[in-house]
Protein backbone atom coordinates (compact mmCIF):
# COMPACT_ATOMS: atom_id res chain seq x y z
CA UNK A 1 0.00 0.00 0.00
CA UNK A 2 1.09 3.53 -0.67
CA UNK A 3 2.12 5.56 2.33
CA UNK A 4 3.78 8.85 3.06
CA UNK A 5 5.59 9.73 6.26
CA UNK A 6 6.37 13.16 7.59
CA UNK A 7 8.41 12.36 10.69
CA UNK A 8 8.28 15.83 12.23
CA UNK A 9 5.05 17.25 13.56
CA UNK A 10 6.67 20.68 13.80
CA UNK A 11 9.78 22.40 12.51
CA UNK A 12 11.04 25.60 14.10
CA UNK A 13 13.44 27.89 12.28
CA UNK A 14 14.58 31.49 12.62
CA UNK A 15 13.86 33.93 9.82
CA UNK A 16 16.70 34.04 7.32
CA UNK A 17 17.90 30.54 8.14
CA UNK A 18 17.51 27.60 5.75
CA UNK A 19 14.64 25.22 6.35
CA UNK A 20 14.01 21.57 5.60
CA UNK A 21 10.74 19.69 5.95
CA UNK A 22 11.17 15.94 5.62
CA UNK A 23 9.10 13.44 3.67
CA UNK A 24 9.61 9.75 2.92
CA UNK A 25 7.35 7.50 0.94
CA UNK A 26 6.64 3.83 0.52
CA UNK A 27 5.32 3.21 -2.98
CA UNK A 28 6.34 0.68 -5.58
CA UNK A 29 7.35 1.89 -9.00
CA UNK A 30 8.00 5.51 -9.88
CA UNK A 31 5.37 7.69 -8.25
CA UNK A 32 4.74 11.35 -8.72
CA UNK A 33 5.54 13.42 -5.61
CA UNK A 34 3.99 16.70 -4.52
CA UNK A 35 4.24 19.34 -1.83
CA UNK A 36 1.27 21.43 -0.75
CA UNK A 37 0.96 24.22 1.82
CA UNK A 38 -2.09 25.02 3.93
CA UNK A 39 -2.68 28.32 5.70
CA UNK A 40 -5.23 28.55 8.54
CA UNK A 41 -8.82 28.01 7.39
CA UNK A 42 -7.69 27.62 3.80
CA UNK A 43 -7.47 24.85 1.27
CA UNK A 44 -4.23 23.41 0.00
CA UNK A 45 -1.96 25.37 -2.31
CA UNK A 46 0.34 23.55 -4.71
CA UNK A 47 4.05 24.26 -4.22
CA UNK A 48 5.93 21.86 -6.48
CA UNK A 49 6.06 18.38 -7.94
CA UNK A 50 8.56 15.76 -9.03
CA UNK A 51 7.72 13.70 -12.08
CA UNK A 52 11.03 12.64 -13.56
CA UNK A 53 14.43 14.04 -14.44
CA UNK A 54 16.49 16.41 -12.30
CA UNK A 55 16.37 15.42 -8.65
CA UNK A 56 16.16 19.05 -7.52
CA UNK A 57 12.79 20.57 -8.26
CA UNK A 58 12.06 24.27 -7.92
CA UNK A 59 8.63 25.56 -7.04
CA UNK A 60 6.64 28.53 -5.85
CA UNK A 61 7.72 31.13 -3.27
CA UNK A 62 11.39 30.10 -3.41
CA UNK A 63 10.78 26.53 -2.27
CA UNK A 64 12.59 23.57 -3.75
CA UNK A 65 12.61 19.85 -3.08
CA UNK A 66 15.19 17.15 -3.43
CA UNK A 67 14.16 13.72 -4.67
CA UNK A 68 16.28 10.79 -3.51
CA UNK A 69 15.18 7.48 -4.99
CA UNK A 70 17.52 5.30 -2.95
CA UNK A 71 16.25 6.80 0.29
CA UNK A 72 12.68 7.18 -1.02
CA UNK A 73 12.68 10.74 0.24
CA UNK A 74 11.38 14.04 -1.08
CA UNK A 75 12.45 16.75 1.36
CA UNK A 76 11.19 20.31 1.01
CA UNK A 77 13.79 23.06 1.34
CA UNK A 78 14.18 26.80 1.26
CA UNK A 79 17.50 28.65 1.53
CA UNK A 80 16.16 31.54 3.60
CA UNK A 81 12.94 31.25 5.61
CA UNK A 82 10.39 34.04 5.97
CA UNK A 83 7.94 34.55 8.83
CA UNK A 84 5.19 34.35 6.21
CA UNK A 85 6.28 30.78 5.40
CA UNK A 86 4.75 29.67 8.71
CA UNK A 87 2.02 27.20 7.74
CA UNK A 88 1.16 23.52 7.52
CA UNK A 89 3.01 21.57 4.84
CA UNK A 90 1.86 18.32 3.27
CA UNK A 91 3.77 15.84 1.17
CA UNK A 92 1.69 13.69 -1.21
CA UNK A 93 2.23 10.85 -3.65
CA UNK A 94 0.28 9.33 -6.52
CA UNK A 95 0.81 6.65 -9.13
CA UNK A 96 1.65 7.87 -12.62
CA UNK A 97 -1.02 5.82 -14.38
CA UNK A 98 -4.75 5.66 -14.07
CA UNK A 99 -6.72 8.01 -11.94
CA UNK A 100 -5.25 10.55 -9.67
CA UNK A 101 -5.76 9.65 -6.04
CA UNK A 102 -3.35 11.56 -3.83
CA UNK A 103 -2.04 9.97 -0.66
CA UNK A 104 -1.00 12.58 1.89
CA UNK A 105 1.30 12.58 4.85
CA UNK A 106 0.07 13.82 8.21
CA UNK A 107 1.58 17.25 7.73
CA UNK A 108 4.38 19.26 9.31
CA UNK A 109 3.77 22.60 10.95
CA UNK A 110 6.50 25.10 10.11
CA UNK A 111 7.04 27.97 12.52
CA UNK A 112 9.41 30.72 11.45
CA UNK A 113 10.33 33.10 14.23
CA UNK A 114 11.36 36.73 13.58
Partner 1 sequence: DAGVTQSPTHLIKTRGQQVTLRCSPKSGHDTVSWYQQALGQGPQFIFQYYEEEERQRGNFPDRFSGHQFPNYSSELNVNALLLGDSALYLCASSPAPGQGPYEQYFGPGTRLTVT
The contact set with partner 1 (CB under 8 A) reads 4, 32, 34, 36, 41-46, 49, 51, 90, 92, 96, 98-107
Where b means 16+ CB within 10 Å and e means fewer, 96-105 reads eeeeeeebeb
DSSP class of residue 18 equals -
Compute the least distance from the CB of residue 10 to partner 1, in Å: 12
Tell me the closest approach of the beta carbon of residue 53 to partner 1, in angstroms.
11
End-to-end CA distance of the chain: 41
To partner 1, the closest distance from the beta carbon of 58 in angstroms equals: 14
Assess contact for 89 and 13: CB atoms under 8 A.
Answer: no
Nearer to partner 1, 19 or 23 (CB): 23
Least Å distance, CB 89 to partner 1, is 10
Cβ closest to partner 1, residue 70 vs residue 100: 100
Shorter beta-carbon distance to partner 1: residue 45 or 68: 45
Cα→Cα distances 92→57, 83, 96, 98, Å: 15, 24, 13, 16
Amino acid sequence: AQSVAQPEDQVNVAEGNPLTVKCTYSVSGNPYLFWYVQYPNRGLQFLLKYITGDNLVKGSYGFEAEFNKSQTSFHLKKPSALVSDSALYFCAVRFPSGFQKLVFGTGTRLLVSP
